[in-house]
Amino acid sequence: MKTEPPRTERRADALSKQRIVEAAIEILDADGETALTFRALAARLATGSGAIYWHVADKGELLAAATDEIVARVMTGIVPEVEPRAAIRAIALGVFDAIDAHPWVGAQLTREPWRPALLLVFEGIGGRLQTLGVPERAQFDAASTLLSYVIGVGGQNAAHARMARDEERTDRSAFLGEVADRWSALSASGYPFLRHVAAQMRDHDDREQFLAGVDLIMAGIAAIQ
């Protein structure tokens, strides 16, 4: 899979998988998943749509490569020497913020687990659980639980971003308010809990709630030891 460096000088703007992936990320960030088509990508790269297939197998590989790129950037930014609990929080927050900035990543992570992108995250979390002294038996389950949670929140965040784009709700609080309104309107007998937390839904901060979940799971891991 490793591509040889080209023998002859290439035009500065020659195609390459790297350039294609970067252009794809720009389109995805600017206009969302539906905007990424091979025709749009070819136009942006000033080439034919078929040329892209010389460097990338298909659209799936393109999306996977773009996701790996974003997640790799996140993991590069994690300082390695910090206290394990703080490191796990930092990794989780890094993924959360990356999905916040690139919502399409959230959808992609749920679609394609066990890719390089997620292996980096899984290794980062699992390694810290080891140094934290989590018993052998529990390490795998604990790391999987944290990863699944991070992916789950990421997918929901991606969905929120998609909805905010589709309807032209500019801000997040308007969206939360709408959901809260809908919960308040549910039947009192069928949905007492949702009616009860509707007010909290309206005012809560997604990022803080995400962290609260990470802490909850970490508390569970500590309790099991």
Q: Which stretch binds DNA (CB under 7 A): 37-45, 119-127, 136-144, 162-170?
A: 37-45
Restricted to residues 156-215, the positions that interact with a second copy (CB under 8 A) are: 156, 158-160, 162, 179, 182-183, 186, 190-194, 196-197, 200-201, 204, 209, 212-213, 215
Name the burial class of residue 168, with classes exposed (0-12), middle (13-18) and buried (19+) by CB atoms within 10 angstroms of its CB.
exposed
Size of the site for a second copy (CB under 8 A): 60
At closest approach, how far in Å is the CB of 154 from a second copy?
8
Interaction between residue 110 and DNA (CB under 7 A): no
Query: Which of 47, 49, 145, 184 is close enough to bind a second copy by CB under 8 A?
Result: 145
Interaction between residue 31 and DNA (CB under 7 A): no
At closest approach, how far in Å is the CB of 117 from DNA?
20
Q: Which does 114 bind (CB under 5 to 8 A by kind): DNA, a second copy, none?
A: a second copy
- Alpha helices for the chain (secondary structure H): 17-31, 38-44, 49-55, 59-76, 84-101, 103-111, 116-131, 136-166, 172-184, 192-203, 206-224
**Local structure of 26: helix, strand or coil:** helix
Cβ 124 vs Cβ 87: under 8 Å: yes
At closest approach, how far in Å is the CB of 59 from DNA?
4
Contacts of 112 (CB under 8 A, 6+ apart): 60, 63, 64, 67
Write the binding mask 42 to 81 for DNA: x where contact by CB under 7 A, - elsewhere.
----xxxxxx-xxx--xxx---------------------
First to last CA, the chain: 43
At closest approach, how far in Å is the CB of 49 from DNA?
5
**What torsion do the CA atoms of 163, 165, 170, 171 make, to the nearest 10 degrees?**
40
Contacts of 91 (CB under 8 A, 6+ apart): 75, 78, 121, 124, 125, 128
- Interface residue list for a second copy (CB under 8 A): 107, 110-114, 119, 122-123, 126-127, 129-130, 139-145, 147-153, 155-156, 158-160, 162, 179, 182-183, 186, 190-194, 196-197, 200-201, 204, 209, 212-213, 215-224
